[in-house]
């Protein structure tokens, strides 16, 4: 999975939320600021969500939720990608 695909997933989510040690940390940046930072060309820019030393491989590192709060897609530390619902590739 490439960094570009991860960035696309984050852009689709509309907000960047990182879960670590059971505590959800949400950026203080606005949605627009986050999207601008992700869309700006920067040499060497990498989005990394790393598995913690005692964290299970199945730990979800990136989650996308719909308007009702249900998870529709996730990526776990072991690389498992889960998508609920219809997948459209164009």
How does pLDDT run across 4-13, given as a tens digit for each residue? 555 555 544 4
Is residue 43 in a domain?
Answer: yes
Q: Quick one: which of 52, 57, 47, 40 has its CA closest to 10?
A: 47
Question: Which tens digit of pLDDT belongs to each residue from 11-29?
Answer: 444 433 333 334 455 568 8
Question: Which tens digit of pLDDT belongs to each residue from 26-69?
Answer: 568 887 887 787 777 777 766 777 888 899 999 998 888 888 98
Is residue 90 in a domain?
Answer: no
Is residue 89 in a domain?
Answer: no
Q: What is the DSSP letter of 22?
A: T
Q: What is the pTM assigned to this prediction?
A: 0.53
- Provide the pLDDT for residue 17: 39
- Provide the pLDDT for residue 38: 75
Residue 17: which residues within 8 A CB-CB, separation 6 or more? 24, 25, 26, 27, 63
Element (H, E) at 31: helix 31-39
Percent of the chain past pLDDT 90, that is, above it, reads 16
Is residue 44 in a domain?
Answer: yes
Task: Identify which has the larger pLDDT, 74 or 17.
Answer: 74
Is residue 32 in a domain?
Answer: yes
Is residue 30 in a domain?
Answer: yes
């Amino acid at each position: 999975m490439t960094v570009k695909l991860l960035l696309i997933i984050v852009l689709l989510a509309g907000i960047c939320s990182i879960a670590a040690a059971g505590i959800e940390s949400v950026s203080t940046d606005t949605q627009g600021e986050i999207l601008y930072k992700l869309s700006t060309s920067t040499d060497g820019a990498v989005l990394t969500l790393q598995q913690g030393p005692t964290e299970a491989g199945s730990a979800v590192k990136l989650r996308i939720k719909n308007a009702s709060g249900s998870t529709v897609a996730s990526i776990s530390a072991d690389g498992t990608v889960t998508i609920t619902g219809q997948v459209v590739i164009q």
